[in-house]
Amino acid sequence: MAEETKTVSESETKEEELKVPEKFKKLVEDIEKMSVLDLAELVKILEKKFGVSAAAPVAAAPAAAGAAPEVEEKSSFNVVLSAVGDKKIEVIKIVRDVTQKGLKEAKDLVDAAATGPQVIKENAKKEEAEDLKKKLEAAGANVELK
């Protein structure tokens, strides 16, 4: 019986610590009456409706903090041609200008992209890589920055 009394007093203490504003009392009471399955369904609906996640912020913070510096630190990219598209001649011209290769070498590089991704430029600065990507995509090619 001592344990029951202890549990009740802990429960009362928690309720005293957590003051529910008057405007939310009915909502909190309704939620307290719901089953665990209904609560899980409600959480999923709220996540979809508002585009948020109910994941614990503590667990998400280290992952987000770890990902942000990697993006900021990366200053050079490899420009990878993954597909040529409809305007193959335009893509060859751009590749030739960027790589300073001859026409045959540029054509071979673009043709090789049909079988697998090909690196067009290595260690390009961010601005240069994005500019090159825009040019190649304007010619109909699919490009990735890695």
Q: What is the pLDDT of residue 40?
A: 83
Q: What is the pLDDT of residue 90?
A: 92
pLDDT in tens, 9-58: 444 545 556 788 898 889 889 988 988 888 888 888 888 888 887 766 55
The boundaries of every CATH 3.30.1390.10 domain in the chain are 76-145
Q: What is the pLDDT of residue 17?
A: 65
**Helices (H), ranges, the chain:** 2-17, 25-33, 36-50, 57-73, 88-99, 103-112, 126-138
Please give the mean pLDDT across all residues of the chain: 78
Q: What is the pLDDT of residue 86?
A: 86
Q: Which CATH architecture has domain 76-145?
A: 2-Layer Sandwich (3.30)
User: What is the sign of the dihedral through the CA atoms of 71, 74, 80 and 86?
Assistant: positive
The position carrying tokens 């709220």 is 46
Q: Which of the residue ranges 15-29, 61-75, 78-92, 125-139 would you say has the lowest mean pLDDT? A: 61-75
Q: Which of the residue ranges 38-47, 57-66, 117-126 would you say has the lowest mean pLDDT? A: 57-66
71: pLDDT strictly greater than 50: no
| Largest pairwise CA distance in the chain | 90
Task: Name the phi and psi angles at 91, rounded to 5.
Answer: -65, -45
